[in-house]
Amino acid sequence: MQLGVVIGTATSTVKHKTFQGERLLVVQLLTSEGGDDGEPVLAFDRLGAGRGETVMLTNDGKILQEMIGRDTPGRWSVLGLPNI
């Protein structure tokens, strides 16, 4: 799991079927020192995280596959909203 900051949201109509009805956030992952870690990623969010919030993400595809479908090409999903 890793912390990240929500820097935006993304909308998409033409997409893989397992994305139907899912909310996509644009999240900048953070290193342990709080710096940027790589390019921003698209993460699935069912917890209603807002822009600017810090979120806890998992890159365990299995969790996402159980949530939205075994053949999903997605990986990152929001696991929790830590109050830091």
Partner 1 sequence: MRIAEVIGKVVLSRAHPSLKGARFVIAAPMPKEALVAGSRLRGEEVIAYDDLGASPGDRIGLSEGGEAANPFGKDVKPVDAYCACLIDQIHCS
Q: Which residues bind partner 1 (CB under 8 A)?
A: 7-16, 19, 24, 26, 28, 36, 39-42, 51-52, 61, 65, 70-76
Nearest CB to partner 1, comparing residues 31 and 36: 36
CB of 73 to partner 1, least distance (A): 4
CB of 56 to partner 1, least distance (A): 18
Return the biggest CA–CA distance within the chain.
37
- Distance, in Å, from the CA atom of 74 to the CA atom of 67, rounded to the nearest integer, reads 11
Nearest CB to partner 1, comparing residues 7 and 82: 7
Tell me the residue type at 38: G
- Distance, in Å, from the CA atom of 19 to the CA atom of 3, rounded to the nearest integer, reads 23
CB of 70 to partner 1, least distance (A): 8
Q: How far is Cα of residue 64 from the mean position of the Cα atoms in its chain?
A: 10
